Amino acid sequence: MIATRLHKMKQVADRTFRLHHLNIGPRLALCFMLIILAMSAGSTVLIWQFQQARTQAERLAAVDQELIAVLQAHISFMSFYERLDVLAQTENTTILVQQIEAIHNALLQETERARSKLSHLAPEVQLDPTLMPTLSAIQLELPAQLQSMAMLAKSGDWEAVRLRLANQIGPLESSSAALVENVDHEVAEQRAQAVMNIRQAQQRIFLIVLTTAALTLLFAAVMGLTVTRSITQPLGRLVDGTAALARGDFFHRVPASGNDEIAGLGNVFNEMIVKLQDLYRELQASETYLAEAQKLSHTGSFGWNISDGTIYWSEETFRIFEFEPTTKVTVAAILDRTHPEDRSTLWQVIERASRDRIAFDVEHRLLMPDESVKYLRVIGHPSTNEENCREFVGAVTDTTDRKHAEEALSKARSELAKVTRITSLGVLTASIAHEVSQPLSGIITNANTCLRMLSADPPNVDGACETAKRTIRDGNRASAVITRLRALFRKKELTLEPLDLNEAAREVIALSLGDLQRNRVVLGSELADDLPPVNGDRIQLQQVILNLLRNALDAMSAVEDRPRELLIRTERDEGGWVRLTVRDVGVGFTPEARDKLFDAFYTTKSDGMGIGLSVSRSIIETHQGRLWAAANDGPGATFSFSIPSGTDTKVQ
Amino acid sequence: MCGPMGVDLPELGAGQSNRYLSLIDAHPRFAQSVPMESLEGCAIDKLLVAVVDDDESIRDSLPDLLREFGFAAHAYSSAEEFLASSGIAQARCLVLDIAMPGMTGLGLQQELKSRGRIIPIVFITASKDEVARAQAFEEGAVEVLLKPFSDTALFEALNKALRSG
């Protein structure tokens, strides 16, 4: 109840005072100023009361002084009287006269002193009205009396002296005594009053101090509380706002009222939240797009700090490697997942990258826990161009699908080629068989007929001759078939054009990359820069290169103890010719086989047709060149062909 | 036409009609049924073997051999020619090339079947086409010989053909 009341009062006070429209500085200044004012007011009142008390004290002192003065006067007067009396008794004139002079001076002095004292009293002191006149009377009368007394003494009338003393001065003395009493009375009164006043003043002071203290305290407390709250509450709301922001709550707004600094801060804060919210939304959207894109393209990103080995992976990278997103990624873990055969390659790449800080682009396989294999392409480069850049950024692409597709395509292509080869060869064979077997059949039949005719009784010689003639005819026919076939084989229409053998070689290499990779062949190419163009049939020359490549591949298919290195080299040959060499480290060939290599239907392959090299040689010879083979110093063989270039100087 | 059916010809090809006749004589099947006189009287035609092949060498060489075997032989250059001729009625056996322009050997086989004319067929072919070979046998061919074939192989095949007919 009280709390709500206070709260309401506070609200009213707030509204009335509109503290929020003042800046904090002025607000605090105002607060302190009011407190100071209150204290000043209190002090003023206090001082006033102190003054009052002091006045009373002074009055008291003055009254006391009054009494003292009167008493002093009286006492001196009394002592003077006593002395006179004593003097009168002694009846010594000279001493009397002397003494009277002294007494006279002393008396005057005293009264004068009394008078001056009394007249110098504080004006608050109410002097007894009879006081001063009495004193003046004494002052006036006494000297006269003294004189007369002196004269009397001189005359020797000591009785008269004593009489005068008793009658004239005596009453003076008693009047002064009476005065003293009066004054004493009055003084007592005044004193009592003054004391009372002082006590009153004391009480009032006490009260005032208390009240002032209490009021000031209360005021200070209220002001302090109000002003403090007017600062801390908005600050609290601001703090809530920042806490909400830290939590990620972008919808929180700081309620800001008024236009002091805190309200200003609150407004700015709200603007900031809105901006952050927008930025965050944009970022989220962009992140989502990126993540989706990574997912769709099977490409994940990574960051790698080569000094401390920390690795960051995007979601997709985790998915590609099939690690839990919470695992800590290390180089060791990556190598662990890598296919054993590719581990050394990958390790070399990693070493080189971290040592030389150069970009890398490597393809390797992963061996998954379920024994499946994934093909990966990893590209990375230093994240900045600085010399001491310690961070790499890059991407990991899962190329398994593409590899499979490529492999399937490559396989299909080679199957197709094989089938085509076989088919066409089959067709060729069938055609040859057909063409030749007819006359052959005729020959055999005729010969058999001839034998029977001749062994008949009598022998049918005419018939036999006829069969013999027919035999010759069929033989010729068969011969004609062979001749035609030879012509068919040899004569191919060449489309001659100037071509760059390097380019042709590169195309063949590109076509065969799949095969080469599948067979784990390490391809080296040394294509001369200054190769002159040759005049030739591009397709046919490429067929030759392909044939040599395939042969090399087949020759190395059983090689396990050494890297399957295949070298293709082009260079200038003498006389302006151009030479292409294919070198392998395969099974090679025996010296005896060397002469038969290029023979048609000579093959060492179980599924070979044996026509590749013979056809290749015939193509090269059509180009006015030559094709030959040589065994290597080490394992394997080297096949080379050399053809004249467009600028050949050799006369063919 | 008069002529014995299903006569077993001996392995050695005898060309003379005399020997031929004596063999017929010896056959139990004809021992009683066909009197020698009727056989002697009647001009016993040799069994006609028709050769159908588009290749000249075959057409020139094969009939002579067949005649040496003791058959009568006639060569046709196409299936259509054969169908249009009298050979279709007279031929006791057919030596047929498979691959021919126009109607193929297999086609002729089907055609004869559909006409209800059952003639035992010996196919001769230059190609090793397994599919055609299988089909030929399926449709009832006696033999499929690959050119060039030996005379012995041909003779055996003809034996088989005449036995089955």
pLDDT-above-90 percentage for chain A: 24
**What is the pLDDT, as a whole number, of residue A607?**
55
CB spacing of B58 vs A445 below 8 angstroms = yes
Cross-strand bridge partners of residue A626: A642
Contact A595, A645 (CB under 8 A): no
Bigger pLDDT: A367 vs A413:
A367
Which residue in A450, A440, A625, A461 sits closest to A535, CA to CA?
A625
Considering chain A, tell me which residue range(s) the CATH 3.30.565.10 domain(s) occupy. Answer: 497-644
The CATH code that applies to domain A405-490 is 1.10.287
Pick from B16, B17, B64, B131 the residue to mutate for testing the A interface (most A CBs within 10 Å).
Answer: B64
Distance separating alpha carbons of residues A364 and A379, to the nearest angstrom:
11
Please state the rounded mean pLDDT for residues A532-558.
89
For A497-644, CATH number out of 3.40.50.970, 3.30.450.40, 3.30.565.10, 1.10.4080.10 equals 3.30.565.10
B62/A contact by beta carbon, under 8 A: yes
Closest CA of chain A from B131, distance in Å? 14
Please name the residues in contact with A586: beta carbons below 8 A apart, sequence gap of 6 or more. Answer: A552, A554, A555, A556, A557, A558, A559, A564, A635, A636, A637
In order, the DSSP letters of A108-174 are HHHHHHHHHHHHTS-TTS---TTHHHHHHHHHHHHHHHHHHHHHHHHHT-HHHHHHHIIIIIHHHHH
Closest chain B residue by Cα to residue A440: B148
A621: exposed, middle or buried (Cβ count in 10 Å: 0-12, 13-18, 19+): middle
User: A318 or A9: which carries more pLDDT confidence?
Assistant: A318
Is the bond into A129 cis (omega within 30 degrees of 0)?
no
How does the average pLDDT of chain A come out, rounded? Answer: 83
Q: Kindly indicate the confidence band of residue A585, based on its pLDDT and cuts at 50, 70 and 90.
A: very high
Burial class from Cβ neighbours inside 10 Å (0-12, 13-18, 19+) for residue A34 reads middle
* Confidence check: pLDDT of A367 > 90: yes
Q: What is the C-alpha separation between A115 and A72, in angstroms, rounded?
A: 11
When mean pLDDT is compared across A22-26, A380-384, A596-600, B16-20, the lowest value belongs to B16-20
Topology, domain A298-398: Beta-Lactamase (3.30.450)
Strand ranges (DSSP E) for A415-515? 497-499
Which homologous superfamily is B48-164 in? Answer: Response regulator (3.40.50.2300)
Q: What is the 3-state secondary structure (H, E, C) of A60-79?
A: HHHHHHHHHHHHHHHHHHHH
Q: Which residues pair with residue A373 across a beta bridge?
A: A367
CB crowding A392-414: b at 16 or more within 10 Å, else e? bebbbbbbbeebeebeeebeeee
Q: Which residue, A300, A315, A316, is CA-closest to A380?
A: A300
A495 pLDDT higher than 80? no
Residue A53 · residue A201 · CB < 8 Å: yes
Domain with CATH 3.30.450.20 in chain A: 298-398
Query: Percentage of residues in chain A with pLDDT exceeding 70?
Result: 90
Three-state SS at A290: helix
Between residues A578 and A226, which one has the greater pLDDT? A578
Minimum-distance CB partner of B151 among A433, A437, A448: A448
Positions in chain B short of pLDDT 50: 1-17, 20, 28-43
Domain boundaries, chain B: 13-44, 48-164
pLDDT digits (tens, 9 = 90+) for A306-316: 888 899 999 99
Lowest mean pLDDT among A65-79, A638-652, B8-22: B8-22
Cβ contact A226:A24 at 8 Å: no
Predicted pLDDT at B27:
53
pLDDT in tens, A118-140: 777 656 556 667 777 777 777 78
Mutant choice from A423, A449, A453 vs B, greatest count of B C-beta within 10 A: A449
Q: Among residues 444-483 of chain A, which lie with CB inside 8 Å of chain B?
A: 444-446, 448-449, 452-453, 456, 463, 466-467, 470, 473-474, 477
Give tens-digit pLDDT for B3-12. 344 444 444 4
Range A39-208 has CATH code 3.20.20.60: no
- The mean pLDDT value of chain B amounts to 77
pLDDT value of residue B6: 42
- What is the location of CATH 1.20.120.30 in chain A? 39-208
B112 or A201: which leads in pLDDT: B112
For testing contact with chain A, the best of B56, B65, B95, B96 (most A CBs within 10 A): B65
Model-wide pTM > 0.80? no
Helix/strand/coil (H, E, C) string of A350-379? Answer: HHHHHHHCCCEEEEEEEECCCCCEEEEEEE
Contacts of A577 (CB under 8 A, 6+ apart): A625, A642, A643, A644, A645, A648, A650
For position A334, what pLDDT does the model report? 92
Higher pLDDT, A580 or A177: A580
